Chain A
């Protein structure tokens, strides 16, 4: 399977714990995005990487959220001191470099439940 993969697919944690999610983009894609989606809402932009550089981050993202893409390949999203409001589907997407915005290919997501 050469699509975007995310790990884990499901995570249940207790409030106050830290969690980390991983995203492996399609291999030749240098652009990587993180989104959060809750039931009945569209994906909400969190952050964007081009290669290893984090070029944009949502103003809505609290300091508890951090993302990295150290070698320009896979990316991790960490949430510290989780809160119940963090419960959501966390989606990763990647796209090819080049002219135009380009199609974003989404992974299957990591569903986070904070108890």
Chain B
């Protein structure tokens, strides 16, 4: 079993739709969590951190459930420019060291 698991998709949604991605992790000692975005043939870029209290950045909302070892990302009012692969990232420490990436969930937003 992979340490970080994501539904690979693809998710094909119309513009304006709300879409949610899930991620589960196996190491209960994991300390810090992120969502990265990777466009086709490009490098990953940070989308947002994930906090226990949940956090929101515009149309994006991230949630963490430590008891269930589960992270989610909600995208509201999808834009064509949201089309990308979304990578869930889990770290064993709070400050530095090994990062474990999921294999990503691919989103295509269609007009």
What total of chain A residues lie within 8 Å of the partner, measured CB to CB? 26
Q: Is B46 an interface residue (CB 8 A)?
A: yes
Complex: chain B residue closest to A49, CB-CB: B96
Contact partner of A55 (CB less than 8 A), chosen from B44, B46, B97, is: B97
Which residues of chain A from 43 to 85 have any CB-CB distance to chain B below 8 Å in the complex? Answer: 43-45, 48, 50, 55-56, 58
Contact partner of A48 (CB less than 8 A), chosen from B4, B87, B98, B102, is: B98
Q: Is B94 an interface residue (CB 8 A)?
A: yes
With A91-B43, A101-B93 as contacts: A42 and B98 at CB distance below 8 Å: no
- Chain B binding site: helix, strand, loop or mixed by DSSP? loop
A83-114 interface mask toward B, CB cutoff 8 Å, 1 = contact, 0 = none? 00000000100010001111110111100000
The answer for the CA separation of A58 and B101 in the assembled complex, in Å, is 13
Smallest CB separation, A60 vs chain B (Å): 11
In the complex, besides A43-B99, A106-B44, 6 extra interface pairs with C-beta distance below 8 angstroms are: A41-B103, A42-B102, A48-B97, A56-B97, A58-B98, A102-B95
Residues of A within 8 A of B (CB): 31, 33, 35, 40-45, 48, 50, 55-56, 58, 91, 95, 99-104, 106-109
16 sample A-B contacts, Cβ–Cβ < 8 Å, listed by A number: A43-B44, A43-B87, A44-B101, A45-B98, A48-B96, A50-B96, A55-B96, A100-B32, A100-B95, A101-B31, A101-B94, A101-B95, A101-B96, A102-B95, A104-B46, A106-B44
